[in-house]
């Protein structure tokens, strides 16, 4: 059976605030060739962030290769995603980036943290040629952003129970400085690199660092089940040094937009709307982050969802954003309590097909997760405890992985001795789209007739809230 491999090139351009980068448009050329993969087993979709939001479909030629040209105003970092793993690419206007890779020998099992939760794709057959060999080889050898993101939260907060904001900030800063030193050493040893490459890497690291610092209080509150204490008065001083309305960064730096998203969020949607109004003077900024609130529709009660919808309609001025809000609201009505869930079928770790219809007559508690998701990993001990507690009840614990690397997923299922029923979507997002899932972990409870009890159910770690839901839903009987 042939498996489709979806490759998505997503731009994650990072630009220095103080550095002037040429705005002259020139074509950037990307050439790629894949070995040991038949032509019809590949599907390509290229998305250039900041240049065109419309996906560009790519077809391989008889040599299993492709070549595309895209007009770019500035250099940028992009991500090439396959079913076997994700790989970074660096493009410059007027330059050619070329690579070859043996898809079948991809080995996404490089363990960067001594923990199976964080497997960084490591493909020894990925080779670069063309104008930007050194840059592309470097960024694929040093997966610095992923390491910072994963290490800071899983290792320090979840695993080591680090409930000390000062120490956490020191360690995040230490990792950032180490990564910056690696970059600086590379630049020193490779004279002649384009200056923009350095600025791009520096700014992406900078905003990844401040995003990690900004996440601390919210995530530790979740892990420790209590309000984080002893936050130093100067902990958040770094926030005052950044411009919340930088149009250049907004259009090109996803670490910057991640930082803005963190700063503008609130569990209470009314407070979130007020924050967005206060933070942003640029209406397009407001449009984007107000639109993000549409993901709350499926997580709040119907009257509140309707009130939020009406509020967003009056504040969002961009027609495309407003259309997304309208579609999300309409879809949230479809996944309300009592709505039937379309039947789905996925393969388990042994290749056996598993369908929702197999569990008719039982409740189904679904965990949407992935091996690279640190918050997902933090839920594992609680999920195991939950499975043990309800092992003799009419409930199935179904874990649905969205991992693109099937081997990494199977390895973690085995190494962590995960229970319940383990399946992988293998690129089929139909169920996730139906439930409007934009981020993981996400948990959903389905009743014995295959109807929704709660589209966004409490996590296993939210023991009290989940126990109440199970009780009122008669899961305990």
Mean pLDDT, contiguous 10-residue spans, the chain (477 residues): 43 38 74 70 46 55 83 77 68 90 59 41 78 89 63 56 75 86 92 84 86 79 62 86 82 79 89 94 93 84 90 94 91 84 94 95 95 83 93 94 86 92 91 84 94 91 90 84
| Cα dihedral sign, 457-265-214-143 | positive
- Among residues 145, 79, 77, 81, the alpha carbon closest in space to that of 108 is found at 81
Q: What is the spatial distance between Cα 317 and Cα 76, in angstroms, rounded to a whole number?
A: 29
Question: How many CB atoms lie under 10 A from the CB of residue 13?
Answer: 26
Token pair, residue 436, equals: 């409007």
What integer pLDDT is reported at residue 149 of this predicted model? 61
Question: Which value, in Å, is the radius of gyration of the alpha carbons in the chain?
Answer: 23
Tell me the C-alpha distance between 165 and 168, whole Å: 5
Q: What number of other Cβ atoms are within 10 A of residue 233's Cβ?
A: 6
Backbone angles phi, psi at 263, to 5 degrees: -70, -25
Q: What distance in Å separates the CA atoms of residue 404 and residue 116, rounded to the nearest whole number?
A: 15
Yes or no: say if 128 and 61 are a contact pair by the CB < 8 Å rule: no
Which two three-digit tokens encode residue 160? 């080591």
| β-sheet bridge partners, residue 101 | 34
CA distances from 230 to 168, 233, 274 (A): 12, 9, 27
* Cα 131 to Cα 98: distance, rounded to the nearest angstrom: 8
Tokens of 225: 């089940």
Query: What confidence score (pLDDT) does residue 19 get?
Result: 40
Task: Give the strand order in the sheet containing 452-454.
Answer: 353-355, 345-348, 421-424, 395-401, 363-369, 442-446, 452-454
Closest CA to 419 of 460, 453, 449: 460
CA dist., res. 259 & res. 213, Å (int): 10
Rounded Cα distance, 8 and 83, in Å: 10
Query: CA–CA separation, 203 vs 198, rounded Å?
Result: 9
Q: How far apart are CA 331 and CA 281, in angstroms?
A: 31
Query: What pLDDT is attached to residue 156?
Result: 58
Residue 74: closest CA among 33, 25, 38: 25
Residue among 48, 50, 58 nearest 7 (CA): 58
Buried b (16+ CB within 10 A) or exposed e, 330-369: ebbeebeeeeebeebebbbbeeeebebeebeeebbbbbbb
Task: Say if residue 441 is preceded by a cis peptide, omega within 30 of 0.
Answer: yes
Instruction: Give dist(CA 458, CA 132) in Å, integer.
Output: 47
Residue 278: both structure tokens together = 């206060």
Parallel, antiparallel, or unpaired for β 363-369 and 442-446? antiparallel
pLDDT at 367: 97
pLDDT value of position 351: 93
**What is residue 281's DSSP assignment?**
-
Is this model's pTM higher than 0.75 or not? no
């Amino acid at each position: 059976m042939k498996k489709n491999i979806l490759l998505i090139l997503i731009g994650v351009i990072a630009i220095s605030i103080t550095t002037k980068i040429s705005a002259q448009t020139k074509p950037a050329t990307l050439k790629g060739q894949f070995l040991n993969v038949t032509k019809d087993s590949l599907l390509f979709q290229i998305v250039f962030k900041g240049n065109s939001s419309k996906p560009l479909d790519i077809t391989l030629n008889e040599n299993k290769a492709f070549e595309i040209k895209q007009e770019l105003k500035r250099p940028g970092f992009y991500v090439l995603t396959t079913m076997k793993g994700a790989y970074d690419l660096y493009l410059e206007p007027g330059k050619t980036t070329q690579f070859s890779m043996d898809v079948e020998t991809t080995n996404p099992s490089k363990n960067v943290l001594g923990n199976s939760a964080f497997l960084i794709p490591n493909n020894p057959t990925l080779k670069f040629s063309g104008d930007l060999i050194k840059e592309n080889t470097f960024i694929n050898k040093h997966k610095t952003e992923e390491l910072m993101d994963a290490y800071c939260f899983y290792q320090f907060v979840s695993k080591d129970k680090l409930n000390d904001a000062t120490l956490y900030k020191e360690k995040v800063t230490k990792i950032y400085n180490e990564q910056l030193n690696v970059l600086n050493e590379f630049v020193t040893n490779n004279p002649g690199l384009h200056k923009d490459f350095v600025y791009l890497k520096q700014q992406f690291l900078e905003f990844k660092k401040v995003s990690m610092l900004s996440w601390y209080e919210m995530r530790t509150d979740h892990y420790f089940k209590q309000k984080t204490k002893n936050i130093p008065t100067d902990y958040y001083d770094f926030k005052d040094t950044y411009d919340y309305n930088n149009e250049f960064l907004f259009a090109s730096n996803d670490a910057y937009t991640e930082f803005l998203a963190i700063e503008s969020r609130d569990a209470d949607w009314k407070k979130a709307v007020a924050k967005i109004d206060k933070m942003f003077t640029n209406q397009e900024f407001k449009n984007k982050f107000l639109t993000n609130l549409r993901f709350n529709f499926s997580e709040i009660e119907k009257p509140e969802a309707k009130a939020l919808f009406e509020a967003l309609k009056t504040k969002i001025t961009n027609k495309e954003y407003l259309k997304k809000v309208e579609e999300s609201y309409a879809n949230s009505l479809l996944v309300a309590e009592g709505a039937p869930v379309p039947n789905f079928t996925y393969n388990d770790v042994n290749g056996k097909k598993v369908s929702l219809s197999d569990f008719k007559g039982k409740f189904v508690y679904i965990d949407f997760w992935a091996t690279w998701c640190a918050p997902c990993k933090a839920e594992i001990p609680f999920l195991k405890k939950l499975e043990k507690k309800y092992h003799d009840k009419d409930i199935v614990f179904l874990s649905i992985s969205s991992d693109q690397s099937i081997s990494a997923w199977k390895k973690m299922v085995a190494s962590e001795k995960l229970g319940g029923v383990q399946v992988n979507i293998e690129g089929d997002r139909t169920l996730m789209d139906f439930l409007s899932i934009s981020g993981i972990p996400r948990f959903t409870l389905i009743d014995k007739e295959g109807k929704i009890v709660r589209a966004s159910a409490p996590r296993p770690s939210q023991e009290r809230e989940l126990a109440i839901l199970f009780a009122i839903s008669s899961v305990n009987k």
